[in-house]
C-alpha cells in the first residue's frame, strides 16, 4: 500500500469520526501540504527511519518553526502507529526520530499604560461590540470562547460566566457560517467569576438585546476575522504597537499574577489542564513580581 493511500484512509476512518471538524481540517491541510508531496508515493512498508529523519531535516531546512515541524512529525507518527496497531503496517519506524526542541517564548502583553488607554477609549466610545475587548482583559477568554458566549452563559446575579463552547469561522456553499464547537480542551470548560466592577456595564449591555454577548452584523454575533480586524484598527487609532488579539489573554494573566493571584487559581480561570503550563508560560511575569517583592523587603536596609 502506498503511504498516500493509508494517509487518506487514516484521515477519513480514524481522525474524522473522533476529532473536531476544525482539528480534522488542520490535519488534512498539513498532510496534503507536507506529507503527501514528500512521502505519498512511497510504499508504506518500505519507509525507513533514515528516510523519515531526512524528511524531518528537510522541514527544518525550509525554515519552518520548531513547533510546526513537531506538529507535522506528530501526524506522521500518529498515522504510522495506527497502521501498526491495525496490522496494515508491518513495523514502527518513526520512534527514533530526533525532533527539534520547541521553546515557549515570552508571552507578550500590553503595558499598564497601554491597557488603560484601551479601557478609556472603550468606555468613552460606547460601542457595544468593543466591550468584548474589555471582557477579555478581565477574564482571559480566548477569542473563540468570547465570540461564542451567549447571554445564557452569563449569570449576572451570581457574577459568573460559563465557558461551554468555542467558535471558528467557516464557509458553507460560498456563504459565511459561524461554527460553534466544544472548547479547546476538556479543562477549557469552566466557570469564570466576573470582577464586580464589570457587572454594571454587562447589565446595560444585555438590554441592547441579541443572543450573543458580543454583537455583530447578523444573528450569529461577531465573526472572528472581522473582530480581529476591528481590534487591530483600535490599536492603530490609539497609537499602540500592533499585537494579536491573544495578547489580551496574556495581559490578563500577567496582571493577575502582579496583584498576587496564585498560579493554581489562574490556571483554572484560564482553562489550562495543568498549572505547570501556566508556570511555564508566565514565568517572566512571576519573576518581575518576585523582584518587586524582594525590593520591598530590601527597603528594610534603609
What is d(CA 227, CA 232) in angstroms, rounded to the nearest whole number?
9
Q: Residue 183: what pLDDT? A: 75
Q: Are residues 143 and 45 both part of a single domain? A: no
Task: Indicate whether 100 belongs to any domain.
Answer: no
Q: Residue 219: what pLDDT? A: 66
Give me 269's grid cell: 480561570
Q: Are residues 65 and 22 both part of a single domain? A: yes
What is d(CA 91, CA 40) in angstroms, rounded to the nearest whole number?
17
Q: Residue 121: what pLDDT? A: 96
Q: Are residues 135 and 273 both part of a single domain? A: yes
Domain of 145: which CATH number?
A: 1.10.443.10
φ, ψ (nearest 5 deg) of residue 142: -75, 160
Q: Are residues 80 and 119 both part of a single domain? A: no
Q: Residue 105: what pLDDT? A: 61
Q: Are residues 217 and 280 both part of a single domain? A: yes
Q: Are residues 153 and 79 both part of a single domain? A: no
Task: Indicate whether 76 belongs to any domain.
Answer: yes
3-state secondary structure of 297: helix
Range of the domain at 122: 112-293
What is d(CA 296, CA 164) in angstroms, rounded to the nearest whole number?
42
Q: Residue 192: what pLDDT? A: 96
* 168 touches 144 (CB < 8 A): yes
Task: Indicate whether 238 belongs to any domain.
Answer: yes
Q: Which of 51, 86, 121 is the last residue of a domain?
A: 86
Q: Are residues 80 and 132 both part of a single domain? A: no
Chain centroid to CA 298: how far?
39
As for how many domains the chain has, the answer is 2
Task: Indicate whether 104 belongs to any domain.
Answer: no
What is d(CA 93, CA 56) in angstroms, rounded to the nearest whole number?
13
Domain of 40: which CATH number?
A: 1.10.150.130
Instruction: Flag residues of the chain having pLDDT under 70.
Output: 102-106, 172, 176, 217-220
- Residue pLDDT, tens place only, 123-146: 998 888 899 999 999 999 999 999
Q: Which long-range contacts (CB under 8 A, 24 or more apart) does 46-49 make?
A: 47/3, 47/80, 47/93, 48/93, 49/93, 49/94, 49/95, 49/96, 49/97
Q: What pTM value is reported for the model?
A: 0.75
Quickly count: other Cβ atoms within 10 Å of residue 256's Cβ.
Answer: 21
Task: Indicate whether 210 belongs to any domain.
Answer: yes
Task: Indicate whether 97 belongs to any domain.
Answer: no
Q: Are residues 47 and 190 both part of a single domain? A: no
What is d(CA 114, CA 94) in angstroms, rounded to the nearest whole number?
47
Q: Are residues 70 and 124 both part of a single domain? A: no
Amino acid at each position: 500500500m502506498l503511504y498516500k493511500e493509508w494517509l487518506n484512509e487514516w484521515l477519513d476512518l480514524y481522525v474524522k469520526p473522533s476529532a473536531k471538524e476544525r482539528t480534522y481540517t488542520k490535519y488534512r491541510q498539513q498532510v496534503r501540504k507536507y506529507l503527501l508531496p514528500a512521502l505519498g508515493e512511497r510504499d508504506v512498508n518500505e519507509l525507513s527511519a533514515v528516510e523519515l529523519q531526512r524528511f524531518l531535516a528537510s522541514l527544518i531546512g525550509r525554515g519552518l518553526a520548531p513547533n510546526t515541524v513537531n506538529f507535522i512529525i506528530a501526524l506522521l507518527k500518529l498515522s504510522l502507529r495506527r497502521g501498526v496497531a491495525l496490522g496494515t503496517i508491518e513495523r514502527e519506524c518513526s520512534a527514533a526520530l530526533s525532533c527539534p526542541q520547541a521553546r515557549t517564548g515570552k508571552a507578550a502583553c500590553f503595558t499598564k499604560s497601554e491597557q488603560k488607554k484601551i479601557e478609556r477609549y472603550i468606555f468613552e466610545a460606547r460601542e457595544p461590540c468593543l466591550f468584548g475587548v474589555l471582557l477579555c482583559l478581565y477574564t482571559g477568554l480566548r477569542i473563540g470562547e468570547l465570540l461564542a458566549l451567549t447571554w445564557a452563559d452569563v449569570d449576572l446575579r451570581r457574577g459568573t460566566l460559563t465557558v461551554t463552547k468555542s467558535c471558528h469561522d467557516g464557509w458553507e456553499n460560498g456563504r459565511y457560517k459561524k461554527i460553534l464547537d466544544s472548547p479547546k480542551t476538556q479543562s477549557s470548560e469552566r466557570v469564570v467569576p466576573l470582577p464586580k466592577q464589570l457587572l454594571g456595564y454587562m447589565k446595560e449591555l444585555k438590554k441592547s438585546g441579541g443572543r450573543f454577548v458580543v454583537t455583530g452584523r447578523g444573528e450569529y454575533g461577531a465573526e472572528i476575522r472581522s473582530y480581529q480586524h476591528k481590534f487591530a484598527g483600535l490599536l492603530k487609532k490609539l497609537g499602540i504597537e500592533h499585537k494579536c488579539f491573544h495578547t489580551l489573554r496574556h495581559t490578563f494573566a500577567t496582571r493577575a499574577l502582579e496583584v498576587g493571584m496564585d498560579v493554581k487559581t489562574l490556571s483554572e480561570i484560564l482553562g489550562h489542564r495543568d498549572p505547570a503550563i501556566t508556570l511555564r508560560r508566565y514565568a517572566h511575569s512571576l519573576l518581575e513580581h518576585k523582584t518587586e517583592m524582594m525590593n520591598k523587603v530590601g527597603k528594610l536596609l534603609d
